[in-house]
Amino acid sequence: MEIKPGKTYENIFSSITEVEKLDFTKLYKNGYTNVLLKSDNFVAKYTTLPINIILNKELMENNDIYIGNNPGFIIVKDGMIRYVVINGFLYDTMDDIGKIENGIVY
């Protein structure tokens, strides 16, 4: 198995309502752990959505895995994304087991 940083979804969203409509399972299976939200009205440390939200585009590239950072990451097995970890919550993409309870807002 191999651990890799999660990716940030390419689309930039202008409202949290747009993010709520996403198919999170599909995003996980493609290695995404973050979305980019361009909204001056959204202020929070955490979100009840099961994905990390990046408000500052400059933080988009800082998903490195190291002590003190809280990145979303994926675990790859036999070339396939097997697990996704977001804010410490584990989701098994093969068996659809687990639940991401919340994400972090950066």
d(CA 44, CA 47): 7
pLDDT for 59-81, tens place per residue? 566 677 777 777 799 999 999 99
pLDDT for 22-47, tens place per residue? 999 999 999 999 999 998 777 888 89
The reported pLDDT for the residue numbered 84 is 98
> Does position 106 have pLDDT exceeding 90, yes or no?
no
Q: Are the beta carbons of 17 and 67 closer than 8 angstroms?
A: no
Cα Rg of the chain, angstroms: 13
The better pLDDT of the pair 56, 76 is held by: 76
CB count within 10 Å of CB 91 equals 22
Q: What is the pTM of this model?
A: 0.89
Q: Mean per-residue pLDDT for 54-59?
A: 75
